[in-house]
Every structure is written in C-alpha cells, then in structure tokens.
C-alpha cells in the first residue's frame, strides 16, 4: 500500500497566534511613551519598576518586548517561503501584494501623525515622541525608506514603521532569490542568513546608502525561510528536534556572549513548535475542542497569514 500523503497546511494558525501575541507585547512595551512630555524628554522617563502592574508586566518590558520585532522578521520569512515557494509570481504581482497590504495604512498613519506634529509644534513649541520631523524625513517616510537608507537620522513621524522599512529591502532580496530557493529551499536560506549575519558581525565594508540594520533583518528573515525548508509541520518529532536545536544554539550564544545567537535560537525554537502544533492538532485532535482553540487564537490575535 502506498504511503498516505500528508496534506499541506494552508494557514499556520498557531504561528498567526504567536505573531499576534508578539504584537500585544510590543504595544505593552511602548507604554513608556505616555511618560513623554515632549520628544526631548526621554531621559526623564521613570524606570519600568514604577509602571502600573510592573511586577507582572516586567518581562514584557525587558527583555522580551525589545526582541519581539526579530520574531516578526523570522515569522515573515517563514510565511513568505510557505506562500511563494509553492507558486509562480511576477515582479508586479509580488510588489502589488506587498504594497496593497502595507502602504495604505502607512500613508494614512503618516499623514495623521504629520498633522498632529504640526499642531503640537504650533501650539506647544515641541514635537511629540519623535523629533526628526522635517521635509527630508517626510519624503523618506512616503517611500517607506525611513530607516533602511543612510540619509535618515533616526525615528520620525510614523516611527513604528522602522521595522517594516528594513523589511522592504529584504522583500526585494527574497524575490530575487525565489527561483534558486525553490531548487534548494534549505541551502539558499542558510547561505543568505549566514552572509547577512557575518556582515553584521564583521562589517568588512560599509554598504553604500544601506544601513546595517537591513542585514540584521535579513538574517532573521532568511532563518524563517530556512525553517520552512526544514518543514517542522511535517511531524511533531521534527518540530521538537528543531526546537531543541534552537535551544542548544541559544545556550551556546549565552556561553559565547553572542546575543544574536541567543535571540535567533529562541525565536526559531518557538516558531518550530508553533508550526508543529498545527500539524499535531490536525492529526490527533479528538472532537472539535482543540481545533476551536487554534481557530479562536488565530482570529483573536491577528489576521490570516500573508
């Protein structure tokens, strides 16, 4: 008898839930903005121990929240590989899908914040939260280049878009590598991830116009692509093995003092377990209860995968 084929997972509900949980953590982390009287008052923000419910929320302030963005990047790589390595796509289709998802909300937010900043400067004499609010940074924001290009001097206007700004460049690199990555879904991400982080660590020469943060983002993104190539969703044992490998990498990072390895190991382990959990629920769930947990988590925390 021929072996039963394994049905491919269309949507990773638990990875969606993980992404939503990370988003909530980041929102809590930015609570400190409420303590800012103006953009120049960051030195006056009190320690997190004085924040409401600090004993309970302290892990969300440090160190988890400060690394949640890297988890987003890794998940993006996993989802992109899951979606685009299984089908053909043109440069126009790929670009339109990215812009349609990201740009309308960014543009509305940018215009709204720019209006608020203008009112604040006119009525109060200072900026709110971020202070690089000149014409140059507004143009960079319009093109979502506010943080990947060296012309930027820091956060401005729609500040939280910084991580997406870095990711935009990586999207282009991913599209250029789709063809070869389909043929080598493990080897190519390994090479791209290793090259990105080697450049972050050694920085042999400074890239023209491009900030080094793009390469840090690229490393996490292609690590996510690598995880998808290793297919933790095929079996719970495989997901557990990848999670164990991530844990070992994190321990090695602690020993060597390489924080990047610690963060990437933990993030990779968590995403592997989330992917395996989707397969486990589909194969072993009894009744509707476990499926309801997965579906509810997905709906509650975030929208469907890209």
For the segment 151-178, what is each residue's pLDDT rounded down to a tens digit? 998 899 999 899 999 999 999 999 999 9
Measure the CA–CA gap between 261 and 267, rounded to whole angstroms. 10
Cβ neighbours of residue 221 under 8 Å, at least 6 residues apart?
73, 74, 76, 77, 80, 167, 170, 174
Q: What angle do CA 62, 68, 70 make, to 5 degrees?
A: 125
For residues 225 and 174, the answer to whether their CB atoms sit within 8 Å is yes
What is the tens place of the pLDDT at every residue in 25-50? 888 888 878 788 788 887 778 887 88
Q: Which residues of the chain have pLDDT under 70?
A: 1-10, 63-64, 282-306
Residue 296 is predicted with a pLDDT of 45
Residue 292 is predicted with a pLDDT of 45
Q: Can you say whether residue 152 is alpha, beta or left, with left for phi > 0 and alpha for psi between -120 and 50 degrees?
A: beta
Q: Which residues of 77-114 are buried (b: 16+ CB within 10 A; e: fewer)?
A: bbbbbbebbeeeeeeeebeeebeeebeeebeeebeebb
Coil, strand or helix at 149: strand
Measure the CA–CA gap between 111 and 117, rounded to whole angstroms. 10
Residue 79 is predicted with a pLDDT of 93
Residue 7 is predicted with a pLDDT of 55
Measure the CA–CA gap between 73 and 218, rounded to whole angstroms. 8
Residue 63 is predicted with a pLDDT of 65
First to last CA, the chain: 37
Nearest CA to 271 among 7, 51, 17? 17
Residue 16 is predicted with a pLDDT of 86
Residue 2 is predicted with a pLDDT of 39
């Amino acid at each position: 008898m021929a072996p039963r084929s394994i049905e491919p997972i269309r949507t990773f509900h638990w990875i969606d839930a993980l992404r939503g949980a990370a988003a909530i953590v980041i929102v809590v982390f930015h609570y400190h903005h409420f303590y800012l009287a103006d953009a120049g008052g960051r030195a006056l923000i009190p320690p997190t121990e004085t924040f409401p419910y600090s004993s309970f929320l302290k892990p969300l302030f440090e160190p988890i929240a400060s690394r949640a963005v890297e988890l987003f990047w890794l998940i993006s790589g996993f989802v992109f590989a899951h979606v685009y390595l299984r089908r053909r796509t043109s440069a126009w289709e790929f670009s339109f899908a990215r812009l349609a998802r990201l740009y309308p909300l960014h543009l509305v937010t940018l215009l709204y914040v720019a209006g608020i900043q203008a009112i604040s400067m006119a009525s109060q004499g200072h900026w709110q939260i971020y202070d690089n609010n000149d014409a140059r940074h507004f143009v960079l924001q319009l093109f979502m280049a506010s943080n990947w290009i060296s012309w930027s001097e820091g956060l401005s206007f729609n500040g939280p878009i910084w991580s997406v700004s870095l990711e935009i460049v990586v999207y282009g690199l991913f599209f250029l590598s789709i063809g070869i990555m389909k043929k080598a879904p493990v080897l190519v991400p390994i090479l791209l991830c290793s090259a990105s982080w080697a450049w972050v660590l050694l920085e042999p020469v400074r890239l023209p116009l491009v900030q080094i943060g793009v390469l840090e983002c690229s490393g996490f993104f292609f690590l996510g692509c690598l995880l998808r190539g290793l297919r933790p969703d095929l079996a719970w044992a495989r997901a557990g093995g990848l999670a164990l490998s991530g844990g070992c990498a994190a321990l090695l990072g602690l020993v060597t003092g390489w924080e990047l390895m610690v963060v990437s190991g933990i993030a990779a382990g968590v995403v592997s377990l989330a992917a395996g959990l989707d397969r486990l629920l589909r194969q072993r769930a009894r009744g509707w209860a476990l499926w309801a947990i997965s579906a509810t988590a997905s709906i509650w925390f975030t929208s469907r995968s890209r």
